[in-house]
Structure 1
């Protein structure tokens, strides 16, 4: 369990900086903060995803509780309004918050009355339940639960423009034909809460203000040990809604099953197994994973980079197989589509297909399933052939040395893909070091698998040729590590970045066992992951804060990325360097921001405050993978 007591819960800033998440296995979620304050436009109890999570709508935003004890009235909600007013301040009554088997639980202490709330979602259905339990009271009390409603794109806001359609139904109401809310003794109402303020959106330079509609009120008289339950579910409403208590029980049961399946031996392992499951989603064409909550959908680069941690380290082998087969069926001109988050399918990544080859090799190594590899052999051949001969965006092997070049003006095709005003912030056109490490490992790994399948190929010799060229071109003089990019428009780039680690960390990396790139990256290491650029570089930015312009300029210019601890740990092990305590800071981080999970990024400067998505797939996946591979709960 992750538990906080009264001192943290009563501190609005501290309690509002820690976020919880529960998911529905479809890309939808419920999320908020320990304090109960909605600090993001993305916070709410029912965020409904379209297939794959590429688009989401926010539905039920909150369920504000009021307790009536005789003539005394206590509001347990904490809301913030435009202008900075925080009222009511229900968090001051919050005695504890606990994340127990993935289920968030709050306990308010009102003297001789103690009230508890638990929230859980169904798996495979867009439904959420909240259970209020009166743990102690000398006499029955009255609970009033006000649903605050909207129906909008999760990335935007909605303001009052006429009352929404609220249709009464048995036990509650339907909001704009989009979702149904049911609970005890529904009393219809209708009033706009105007100027609801989200402080994190303001900090990110985005619109922080919206309006929410209070549709009425659920009312229950509850004695000691009694409960009141509210359930909300997205359309279509097939059959009766599940009970909220049933959702909580099922969520805990699933969490225990996931931990057993992952063979988690300690609390950190159990948290990570549950966190990994939050990213795995069912789509109409098979299982996949979203890149991060609360705003990312499915990204093929993130999916394939996360593949081993999310599916293999957790022993989800059947789903792993389906993920690979589904991806193999989408290969186009030797590439995987990057994302549909922008509204259209985009083939604009130089590494997703290469990470796919890596995922296949790791799947075969873990499961021994060559039948699936045989089914994917055509896609693997197509990827390597098209990359060798040329595909979109100038991606092709240089005939002179067999190394892979990529890039086109105005595009950012590597994982360092931030752009401002249509221009890449981190210009990496040319032969990028991690792209070529993946290319060489993909050639060699595919060749080894094809040998086992007795399939004719020449990928092994291509890997050997490219590997020789890699060692000639990328190794900097004097043991100073590797160039980040060679043969770019501006020549060779000697910036110290973590990308070079893949040359040592990958199973068929061209510099496996060489400590020089690892030692060159020592100034990048932090307790939360690897900086994306050395602090000694003039282009380094140590803070990943502010509006979109400031954040995008810092995104890959020094910002810490937790997922890179995986390649660093593997590279250290390959080179025979110590990895003791490498994950200590990241394990503590599970209770610091996105509770039970790992953030997307953090500031490059100490104290490395978390930024980006609070819940990020490849961050969780790499911590989980490394813990599993190194078989030590507090080791890298």
Structure 2
């Protein structure tokens, strides 16, 4: 594991230092604890107990914080918590006493120094349960008394709760209380309080153009003595089996650390960086009430998205020793196919079948699983489902997704729809509709046909028609997509001309320089052999230290900053924003072309200490210094980085 630790200069800086670096621990069932190095909550999503519902997308924030206050022998009280208020004031300022923060085997540890008194805090979640342990240990000095203010809410993770609504119900139970009938707190010296804290401010929500303030409920206070070094004061919070207290908090920390080491060992990392990425990958693989194995697309606000899951599949499962879980996931996804399509997501509150590429990534994931593991039994089992995908695409399915009989390429498009991974919309209007025949979709189509033909032959069945269809699509791809006058590939061919509405008579080929073409050279059955000169042209226009941009800076509509309110961010999402997951296809294409990529990962390696600690962000600004944006912890960014790092 790489060293992720910071001293007082970073911990105590709540402008660009400790408040901009975030930590995450997960429970394996879709919930998490998350915050910043400084202890300052900057997002509505930050909390010590964030509880998943039936799906990872339905989360509630419960225990927000445990604010420490140390009573010294002199009678002085020193507060170690940190909150920002709607007035702009930051109080208390416990980060000013932080001398160290570290991630040790994935467990965050803070160390405060108050003169001769040193106190550490560790936070860990119990694997497989919605339970968090917060352990405070006296390292030096003492005796002191430690009070812990339990600050709570119970609301949707995407929203906020106000004092103009009902007070939180807090019922005393044992050594603690049950809050809202939803989660339980347990620890020493519980003293009920009951008070609203008004106007707690989340600066990151303000930056994102969302409502930044909420009110929190001071439910009560725990209190214990730290008399000599090694003494602990611990609190547990959990949201399942409320009548059964989990193991002691110190045992939870030990169990989490032990499991994290096992996760890393099972991945057989080739160096400290891949060990760190293997542990980061573990956060995204969860078991929920709705699915035996599922993938969280990103923390803190995403649930499960099929496209993200299938792009991440090899990195999350095959590169980490989790092929058995992966097998389970692929089988469960195959059972959900409808009209030859995987659902995109249910995060929106309804199941949506509105993606052209997720199903093709599913074909790729199954093919890779069988190729890497030799699990031909799974290939045989899923063959009927995979053949039904091809049949549905030949016949035509939702949103105009159909194989063009003239050239065997896949075309897609419908008014108001954005079907590719470049799916952002502003006020319901797609920013990059990419109607027609997108380059990466057809690279996946060619790749999928070849992979399915091989699986068919492995099962002892005739694949002649699949190979024939593959041959036609391959020939058409090689004819239609290269643009020698540009030096790269068209992004979309047979797109509606700007002067014509969808369905008009005129079409054109989109020649904007985008990274989607990388799949035409990177996939196992890629339609084109990569040319070093072409790849260098693509890299010159798109490559940054954190991966390729989604649009070259000299293109019309380029947006170099992924900032502002929802409309601003969605407008920039695929118009120049950097996507680290694309480092995977770029590295594959370069290796196939004989280009050395040993120095490709330097920027991402540094990024592991800059934003989502030990992980890779969803996106980054297209312009220097390429600050991380979007989810700090993103599945496909981690998975693809891990996959191509292991090859090296």
Partner of 2:8: 6
> 2-side partners of 1:255 and 1:266: how far apart?
16
Partner of 1:483: 490
Question: Does residue 409 of structure 2 align to residue 403 of structure 1?
Answer: yes
SS of match in other structure, 1:12: coil
Deviations 1:544-584 (A, max 9, x none): 00100110110000000000000000000111122121011
1:524-563 maps to which residues of 2 (within 5 A)? 524-563=542-581
Deviations 1:357-383 (A, max 9, x none): 000111011100100011100110011
Maintained 8 Å contact 1:133/1:226: yes
Question: Does residue 477 of structure 2 align to residue 470 of structure 1?
Answer: yes
Deviations 1:459-507 (A, max 9, x none): 1111111010011111102461100001011221000000000000001
| Residue 259 of structure 1: how far off its partner (Å) | 0.9
1:454-533 maps to which residues of 2 (within 5 A)? 454-457=460-463, 458-478=465-485, 480-490=487-497, 491-515=508-532, 517-522=534-539, 523-533=541-551
Question: Does residue 37 of structure 2 align to residue 39 of structure 1?
Answer: no
SS of match in other structure, 1:343: coil
Partner of 2:276: 271
1:544-583 maps to which residues of 2 (within 5 A)? 544-583=562-601
Partner of 2:501: none
SS of match in other structure, 1:52: coil
> 2-side partners of 1:476 and 1:162: how far apart?
63
Question: Does residue 379 of structure 2 align to residue 379 of structure 1?
Answer: no
Question: Does residue 605 of structure 2 align to residue 605 of structure 1?
Answer: no
1:516/1:328 CA distance change after superposition, 3 Å: farther
> 2-side partners of 1:216 and 1:203: how far apart?
32
> 2-side partners of 1:556 and 1:67: how far apart?
49
Which of 164, 176, 182 is matched with 1:172 structurally? 176
> 2-side partners of 1:81 and 1:26: how far apart?
32
SS of match in other structure, 1:374: helix
> 1-side partners of 2:98 and 2:133: how far apart?
20
SS of match in other structure, 1:133: strand
Which of 337, 342, 350 is matched with 2:356 structurally? 350
Question: Does residue 285 of structure 2 align to residue 280 of structure 1?
Answer: yes
SS of match in other structure, 2:443: helix
Question: Does residue 62 of structure 2 align to residue 59 of structure 1?
Answer: yes
| Residue 162 of structure 1: how far off its partner (Å) | 3.4
Partner of 1:125: 129
SS of match in other structure, 1:413: coil
> 1-side partners of 2:308 and 2:470: how far apart?
25
Maintained 8 Å contact 2:297/2:309: yes
Maintained 8 Å contact 2:427/2:567: no
Which of 48, 67, 89 is matched with 2:51 structurally? 48
| Residue 290 of structure 1: how far off its partner (Å) | 0.5
Question: Does residue 411 of structure 2 align to residue 394 of structure 1?
Answer: no
> 2-side partners of 1:435 and 1:266: how far apart?
34
Question: Does residue 220 of structure 2 align to residue 235 of structure 1?
Answer: no
Maintained 8 Å contact 1:52/1:281: no
Maintained 8 Å contact 1:187/1:218: yes
SS of match in other structure, 2:252: helix
> 1-side partners of 2:358 and 2:533: how far apart?
27
Question: Does residue 217 of structure 2 align to residue 199 of structure 1?
Answer: no
Deviations 1:522-548 (A, max 9, x none): 120111011000011121110000100
The gaps in structure 2 that reach 5 residues or longer are: 498-507
Which of 70, 79, 85 is matched with 1:81 structurally? 85
SS of match in other structure, 1:51: coil
> 2-side partners of 1:562 and 1:254: how far apart?
28
Deviations 1:88-139 (A, max 9, x none): 11100000000011100000011110000000001111000000001011x3
Partner of 2:503: none
Which of 26, 31, 42 is matched with 1:28 structurally? 31
Maintained 8 Å contact 2:413/2:419: yes
| Residue 516 of structure 1: how far off its partner (Å) | 5.3
SS of match in other structure, 2:269: coil
| Residue 238 of structure 1: how far off its partner (Å) | 4.7
> 2-side partners of 1:485 and 1:141: how far apart?
67
Which of 174, 179, 186 is matched with 1:182 structurally? 186
TM-score (structure 1 length as normaliser):
0.98
Deviations 1:128-178 (A, max 9, x none): 0000001011x3100000110000000000011232210000000000100
Maintained 8 Å contact 2:30/2:288: no
> 1-side partners of 2:484 and 2:644: how far apart?
31
Maintained 8 Å contact 1:20/1:104: yes
Partner of 2:505: none
Which of 607, 619, 639 is matched with 1:589 structurally? 607
Partner of 1:158: 161
Maintained 8 Å contact 1:142/1:222: yes
Partner of 1:634: none
Question: Does residue 108 of structure 2 align to residue 104 of structure 1?
Answer: yes
SS of match in other structure, 1:235: coil
Q: CA RMSD in A?
A: 1.0
| Residue 6 of structure 1: how far off its partner (Å) | 1.1
Maintained 8 Å contact 1:448/1:460: no
Maintained 8 Å contact 2:129/2:240: no
Maintained 8 Å contact 2:481/2:493: yes
The gaps in structure 1 that reach 5 residues or longer are: 631-636
> 1-side partners of 2:85 and 2:584: how far apart?
42
Which of 254, 257, 274 is matched with 2:259 structurally? 254
> 1-side partners of 2:375 and 2:243: how far apart?
39
SS of match in other structure, 1:36: coil
TM-score (structure 2 length as normaliser):
0.96
| Residue 82 of structure 1: how far off its partner (Å) | 0.1
Question: Does residue 633 of structure 2 align to residue 626 of structure 1?
Answer: no
1:64/1:257 CA distance change after superposition, 3 Å: same
- The range that moved more, 601-610 or 265-274, is 265-274
Maintained 8 Å contact 1:539/1:557: yes
| Residue 425 of structure 1: how far off its partner (Å) | 0.4
Question: Does residue 221 of structure 2 align to residue 214 of structure 1?
Answer: no
